[in-house]
Amino acid sequence: MSTPPDTQPQIACRLLAWAKQHLRDLPWRHTRDPYHIWVAEVMLQQTQASTVAPFFTRWLAQFPTIEALATAPIDQVLKAWEGLGYYARARHLHQAAQCILSEHEGRLPADRDQLLALPGIGPYTAGAILSIAFGQDEPVLDGNVRRVLCRVFNITTDPRRASTQRRLWELARSLLPPGRAGDFNQAIMDLGATICTPRSPLCPQCPLMDLCEAAHLGVQEQRPVSRPRRRIPHYDVTAAIIWRDGQVLITQRPLEDMLGGLWEFPGGKREPGETLADCLKREIREELGVEIIVGKPLPPIRHAYSHFRITLYPFHCQIQRGEPQALGCAAWRWVTPDQFDRYAFPAADQRIIAYLRERGAPRPHQEDRDA
Ligand code: SF4
């Protein structure tokens, strides 16, 4: 089945009509404020709308303007993001807010090239801001739109290929109803999120069903075509809960690293042939320049990131020799367990905190037994 020439205007018409009844009522749908749209679109990258909604509302209460965000300390920004994951998004929002304050008088520019020059704003986010907040005829292409387009037009090449990406952007642009791009973009994204889902799409409820080539051929679940999955690597990682006089040593990850700027219990990845205790002693020596005694283990924690999985082995520890120095971290601090809440921690470390809250500090003899 090839797409007849009048299909494209019909797609826009049907999606706009469908959206009138079915568009989800989400907090960012009640505003055209460019800053609000920008925050929502960044939060929505890799995170579902239902998860984003409470974060979005809290974020705007805490950072009501671009200036408030730009002038907030990075620790406060990361703490507000805690639980959303992919923390580079929060760091980029913060950096971009500072650029907007210094170079654009605190207002998001309504210009594609100027938006693309800001940290963390790529073609998708720029398209969303320009179409939804500024009413410009600009397309968006996120995972939901890509899936709908690959199915409706039965695209049989890998959507990650540059040539397919170009074709998809062209298609997304060609479908835009002049003057209604913002509404259309939101409609097609919502269709992908709620009807044209990755598995078991609800085709009988879809307004595009009789226009959809993949549905016609019965291959909708095979579109977009995907590469065979690569094996996800797994790493053993250790973490030291280093105690001194009721306080625990926490370290801040270097800003340029994954989870940069977040606080954690120091440690790192086990090398081949290393015991967990030797790994932890080496990591702490490299990161903080101190020798530690590795004590009682806490229960291991399994955690999955987007491209790898870890088993995290935490141990109660004590410093045997030396004073901490920030050799492999951005900063370090002694804090009492009731001060943990002031810092943003990655999800795996939050589970250590939950365990410590439940069990309290170890008895002294438990801290200094080598594992
Ligand atoms: S008919 Fe099915 S596969 Fe095609 S766009 Fe609609 S939900 Fe997706």
Ligand 1 centre distance from Cα of residue 121 (Å): 29
229 is a domain residue: no
Ligand 1 centre distance from Cα of residue 342 (Å): 46
My answer on whether 77 and 115 are in the same domain is: yes
Residues assigned a catalytic role = 41
75 is a domain residue: yes
My answer on whether 186 and 298 are in the same domain is: no
pLDDT of residue 79: 95
228 is a domain residue: no
My answer on whether 67 and 195 are in the same domain is: yes
The model's pTM is 0.82
311 is a domain residue: yes
Per-residue H/E/C for 242-255: EEECCEEEEEECCC
Which residue has a Cα nearest atom 2 of ligand 1?
203
| Contact (CB, 8 A) for 19 and 190 | yes
Q: Residues near ligand 1 with C-beta < 6 Å?
A: 148, 151-152, 195-196, 201, 203, 206, 208-209, 212, 214-215, 220
pLDDT of residue 272: 93
How far apart CA 308 and CA 236 sit, in angstroms, is: 11
Among 177, 197, 222, the domain boundary falls at 222
| Contact (CB, 8 A) for 78 and 263 | no
217 is a domain residue: yes
Identify the DSSP state of 296: E
| Contact (CB, 8 A) for 287 and 281 | no
Query: What CATH number is given to the structural domain containing 298?
Result: 3.90.79.10
Size of the chain, expressed as the number of residues it contains: 371
My answer on whether 23 and 89 are in the same domain is: yes
My answer on whether 122 and 251 are in the same domain is: no
Among 222, 245, 275, the domain boundary falls at 222
My answer on whether 194 and 58 are in the same domain is: yes
Which residue has a Cα nearest atom 4 of ligand 1?
212
| pLDDT tens digit sequence for 284-298 | 999 999 999 999 999
**Residue range of the domain that includes 309:** 234-367
pLDDT of residue 3: 54
My answer on whether 77 and 152 are in the same domain is: yes
How far apart CA 121 and CA 135 sit, in angstroms, is: 18
My answer on whether 254 and 111 are in the same domain is: no
Identify the three-state secondary structure at position 349.
Answer: helix
70 is a domain residue: yes
My answer on whether 114 and 261 are in the same domain is: no
Among 169, 192, 222, the domain boundary falls at 222
Main-chain dihedrals φ then ψ at residue 316, nearest 5 degrees: -70, 140
User: What atom of ligand 1 comes closest to residue 206's alpha carbon?
Assistant: 6
pLDDT of residue 364: 58
Question: How many distinct structural domains can be found in the chain?
Answer: 2
Contact partners, residue 24, CB within 8 Å, separation at least 6:
49, 190, 193, 194
My answer on whether 181 and 291 are in the same domain is: no
Query: What CATH number is given to the structural domain containing 114?
Result: 1.10.340.30
My answer on whether 215 and 363 are in the same domain is: no
My answer on whether 191 and 327 are in the same domain is: no
How far apart CA 180 and CA 73 sit, in angstroms, is: 38
Pocket test residue of 10, 211, 212 for ligand 1, highest count of atoms within 8 A of CB: 212
252 is a domain residue: yes
Which residues in the chain come in under a pLDDT of 50?
A: 1, 366-371
1 is a domain residue: no
Pocket test residue of 11, 145, 175, 209 for ligand 1, highest count of atoms within 8 A of CB: 209
Ligand 1 centre distance from Cα of residue 153 (Å): 10
| pLDDT tens digit sequence for 141-192 | 999 999 999 999 999 999 999 999 999 999 999 999 999 999 999 999 999 9
pLDDT of residue 371: 40
